[in-house]
Amino acid sequence: MTNSLPHDVVQARRDMLRGAMLAATGGLLLGQTAHADDPATSAVKIQALHPEGAPAADASYSPAILAQGQRLLFISGQGPEKYDIDMETQIRQTFDRIGILLKSAGATFANVVIVRSYWVHMQRDLPVFRKVRREYLVEPYPASTAVGTTELAIPGLELEIEAVAIL
């Protein structure tokens, strides 16, 4: 069967479907180019939104991100290599693991549009997380959510971080 629709109609439908898929995963299309000098993000457009009335509890995340790219990378929750070390090192190990997954997809932390973190001791550990993430994440900072929980899937695990990147 041949496609009898004009190319622009087909492209408009594809763009609409891509936008719906991104919206369902917490992203939106459009935006202005960020990190244009970075080969991993040269075809990606990422823009932070900071509208009046949208508070941010910390300076190293954005209340919202507008993003456009060709592919999405969903990184499952990652944890540290070792559980019996200080929390700052555990957070660094977790971000390092995320970095390995980003690199394997041809991406960097500049491609990350949202980070979700899960904490057994959120009030205790969130200040350390806020400090460490500034060393890994870049502007425009990704959207971010932190969730406190009584336990995680692996016994002894006290933090888990997942991310979505657009490439």
| pLDDT band with cut points at 50, 70 and 90 for residue 7 | low
Q: Is the peptide bond before 142 cis (omega within 30 degrees of 0)?
A: no
Residue 36: the pLDDT is 44
Give the separation between CA 154 and CA 36, rounded to whole angstroms. Answer: 39
The amino acid at 66: L
Average predicted confidence (pLDDT) for the chain? 81
- Indicate the number of domains in the chain: 1
Residue 59: the pLDDT is 72
Q: Which of 31-45, 95-109, 124-138 has the lowest mean pLDDT?
A: 31-45
Q: Is residue 1 part of a domain?
A: no
Q: Is residue 2 part of a domain?
A: no
Q: Is residue 110 part of a domain?
A: yes
Total-model pTM: 0.71
Q: Which residues pair with 33 in a beta bridge?
A: 45
Residue 11: the pLDDT is 55
DSSP state for residue 147 in the 8-state scheme? E
pLDDT exceeds 50 at position 30: no
Strongest mean pLDDT among 18-22, 55-59, 60-64, 134-138: 134-138
Report the pLDDT averaged over residues 64-84.
91
Q: What is the CATH number of the domain that holds 97?
A: 3.30.1330.40
pLDDT over 90 for what percent of the chain?
58
Q: Is residue 117 part of a domain?
A: yes
DSSP conformation letters of 32-81: -B-STTSGGGTT-EEEEE--TT---SSTTS-SEEEEE-S-EEEEEEE--S
Give the separation between CA 94 and CA 143, rounded to whole angstroms. Answer: 18
Helix axes 122-136, 87-104, angle to 10 degrees: 40
Instruction: Tell me the C-alpha to C-alpha distance, in Å, between residue 114 and each of 6, 22, 139.
Output: 36, 12, 12
* Domain housing 15: 7-166
Ranges assigned E (strand) in 69-142: 72-78, 112-119
Q: Count of alpha carbons within 13 Å of 157, Cβ hemisphere only?
A: 19
Residue 31: the pLDDT is 33
